[in-house]
């Protein structure tokens, strides 16, 4: 059933649309960061799947597309009819479960042009399989009474290598390799925009490429786990949990050491594997690693 107009009025009342335009208008001079999802694979009603937006005026660049991404865009008063581009750090399910949502919901909400998607090798096949899985939905929405924009469901895929991957109207995005366990390709991104440099770690254990990319950044958004609470889990294969975390992720103390060397002006913690740790415990461990700058624990829909 085609109810786009009614749906938009329910989601975005006119006053809210007006407010959104003012907030994201051309007068904004430096990019802001919106944490759309700070969660992990463990289902958490208070943390959506990993996703982060860099917003400059009316422009929105999205990094990763975890579960619930379109609803989080709506909750943040960001466009639900398509972002400017999506940058995928790696192909773990928790970072990509929102891809069907992003591709298809944005189309149903008005997107008519292909969505630019950048990511590691394999993302082209992933998107192709997603669109094939929903081919009957696409046909009915295109040819039936909904009359959605023909081809608006498409994506323009670029499988990237380290180096500059995107540059448009004053925003430059550079990819750098990170070490995420046994993944052959995983990336972090550095965004250079008027007035601000932002580094997104993706999922990674400590590595020289991340420290180099983050050096002198205005903001470093980095994943983290609690070293003090790391222990084998009581489940099949749970005895390998500490080894897994050390090979795939960065502990709070290790992150403090990285940030002490890179010296970002602001360190934002996200995608936190707590295992029972409190915000205070994690922040104290980062401090014990040697970082003395400003650091915050990120939560869904926080803006920086």
- Of 121, 116, 46, 125, the closest CA to residue 83 belongs to 116
Q: Which of 94, 101, 203, 252 is flagged as catalytic?
A: 94
Q: How far is CA 213 from CA 39, 148, 154, in A?
A: 24, 42, 32
The residue behind tokens 């039936």 is 144
Tokens of 228: 């003090």
Query: Radius of gyration (Cα) for the chain, nearest Å?
Result: 19
Q: Clarify whether 94 is annotated catalytic.
A: yes
141-145: list long-range contacts, CB under 8 Å, 24+ apart. 141/107, 141/108, 145/1, 145/2
Q: How far is CA 63 from CA 35, 75, 86, 232, in A?
A: 10, 17, 6, 31
- Of 22, 84, 56, the closest CA to residue 170 belongs to 56
- Residues tagged active-site: 94
């Amino acid at each position: 059933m085609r109810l786009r107009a009614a749906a938009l009025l329910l989601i975005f009342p006119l006053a809210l649309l007006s407010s959104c335009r003012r907030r994201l208008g051309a007068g904004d001079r430096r990019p802001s960061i919106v944490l759309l999802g700070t969660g992990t694979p463990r289902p958490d009603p208070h943390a959506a799947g990993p996703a982060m937006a860099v917003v400059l005026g009316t422009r929105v660049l999205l990094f990763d597309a975890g579960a619930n991404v379109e609803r989080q865009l709506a909750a943040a008063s960001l466009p639900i009819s398509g972002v400017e581009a999506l940058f995928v750090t790696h192909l773990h399910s928790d970072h990509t479960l929102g891809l069907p949502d992003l591709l298809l919901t944005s189309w149903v909400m008005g997107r008519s042009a292909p969505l630019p998607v950048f990511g590691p090798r394999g993302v082209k096949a992933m998107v192709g399989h997603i669109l094939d899985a929903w081919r009957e939905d696409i046909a009915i929405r295109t040819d039936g009474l909904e009359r959605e924009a023909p081809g608006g469901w498409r994506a323009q895929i670029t499988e990237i290598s380290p180096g500059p991957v995107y540059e448009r109207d004053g925003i430059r995005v550079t990819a750098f390799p990170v070490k995420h366990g046994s993944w052959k390709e995983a990336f972090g991104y550095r965004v250079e925009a008027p007035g601000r440099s932002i580094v997104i770690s993706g999922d990674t254990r400590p590595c020289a490429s991340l420290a180099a990319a983050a050096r002198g950044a205005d903001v470093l958004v980095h994943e983290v786990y609690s070293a003090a609470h790391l222990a084998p889990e009581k489940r099949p294969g749970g005895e390998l949990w500490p080894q897994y975390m050390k090979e795939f992720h960065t502990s709070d103390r290790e992150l403090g050491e990285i940030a002490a060397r890179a010296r970002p002006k602001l360190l934002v913690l996200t995608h936190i594997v707590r295992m029972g740790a409190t915000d205070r415990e994690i922040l104290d461990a980062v401090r014990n690693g040697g970082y003395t700058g400003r650091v915050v624990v990120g939560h869904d829909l926080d803006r920086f």
